[in-house]
Amino acid sequence: MTAALLTLADSRLPAGGHAHSGGVEQAIAMGVLTDAGSLTTFLRRRLATSGAVAAGLAAAACGGGDLAALDAEADARTPSPALRAASRQQGRGLVRVGRRAWPSAAWDELPALPHHAIALGVAAAAGGLGPRDAAQAAAYLSVSGPATAAQRLLAMDPLTVAAITARLAPEVDDVATRAVADGLPAATDPLLDLLAEVHATRKDRIFAS
């Protein structure tokens, strides 16, 4: 694993991911997520749907795909307006730091507000990584950010949350492998869409998504 991949997967990268819970905040509010067991289920469900889609998009963007077309594909695979907005917010943040970290002409080919997975693919390519690396980073981020949010919101034992994330590593790797081999998936999860839309209407939320 290269330093560039480690950097992209690091929560300390100032791309704005810390402000998003990936649906965890609303899942807790609605009683869907309450403990370590339900967190594992939530993360596995997220990885298999939005995580798989993000991995496929990031791999394609890293591999030199038409970025505008891929951004449109991301829109088509994200039914929730709230999730589309959150993805573009994170994409904008990643472009800002990515331009400084890995200067490349490819950044100029992105839409003004790209989806996060598309920006991630460009960042991976600019950092000298390949499509599978980009897919792996996207798949990992789909669970690591929500896991951290759950730890904060439920005051969970950090060791427990770290163990949950570590045990998902084989599934993260499998999603990344399939993203490269099978192309763009179209997996969706109505529950995640619902959580995002309800969360967007709240006035007392801590996270942006």
Domain ranges of the chain: 19-200
Domain 19-200 fold is: Urease accessory protein UreF (1.10.4190)
Note every long-range contact of 63-72, with CB atoms under 8 Å and residues 24 or more positions apart, other chains counting.
63/121, 63/125, 63/130, 63/131, 64/125, 65/121, 67/106, 67/109, 67/110, 67/111, 67/114, 67/118, 67/122, 68/111, 70/118, 70/121, 71/110, 71/111, 71/114, 71/115, 71/118
pLDDT of residue 15: 80
pLDDT of residue 107: 94
User: Does pTM surpass 0.85?
Assistant: yes
pLDDT of residue 8: 84
Low-confidence ranges of the chain (pLDDT < 70): 1
